[in-house]
Amino acid sequence: MVLVMKNSKLILKTAIIMLFIAPPLVLSHGDNEHEQKTNVKKELSKDNNLLKAYKEINENYNKNIKPIFKKKCFDCHGLITQSPWYYKIPGVKQMIDYDIKEAKKHLDMSEDFPFISHETPLKDLESLKEVSMEDDMPPFRYIIGNWDARLDKKEKQAIIKWTEESILKLK
């Protein structure tokens, strides 16, 4: 009986996850848009003030933000790819792999700030602030059944503070 209960729970979870993961696969935009990634680091050497600002921003990032991102974002946006529990469900692995590919296309945090991105570092900070304020990341389908994946209040505030301070440094 217990075994049956466990199985039906797993099937239900799978169904729910499929429901949330499948639509973005269909709706997401084309691949070509993000082919061009700015090589910020190369351009940097020309501008000392900017270099200094990036350095300060990165110092704060390493101290206060990277530990949060490591826990909550790097699964998709960074180097670490720990398999989440639902990786074991047939078919889900491919969808998660797709998510990781998409996530990195938008914002790759494998390297410290400035991140590898198709946007400018300033734009990246702005979208990091936005997704944190709006609870947009991690994607909703990712936090179902995995509630700890969400940003808690303290983490949210830390990210918002860091992005706001950093944006001022770049303006």
Q: List interacting residues with ligand HEC (CB under 6 A).
A: 72-73, 75-77, 99, 102-103, 106-107, 127-128, 131, 137-139, 142, 151
Q: How far is the CB of 21 from ligand HEC (least distance, A)?
A: 9
Contact yes or no for 121/54 (Cβ under 8 A) = yes
**E strands along 6-150, which residues?**
107-108, 116-117
CB closer to ligand HEC, 7 vs 85: 85
CB closer to ligand HEC, 54 vs 69: 69
Q: How far is the CB of 127 from ligand HEC (least distance, A)?
A: 4
**Cα separation, 140 vs 14, whole angstroms:** 15
CB closer to ligand HEC, 54 vs 159: 159
In single-letter form, the type of residue at position 39 comes to N
Handedness of CA 41, 55, 118, 22 (dihedral sign): positive
CB closer to ligand HEC, 92 vs 131: 131
Please give the C-alpha separations between residue 78 and each of 26, 75, 105, 112, in angstroms, as whole numbers. 24, 6, 11, 10
Q: How far is the CB of 157 from ligand HEC (least distance, A)?
A: 13
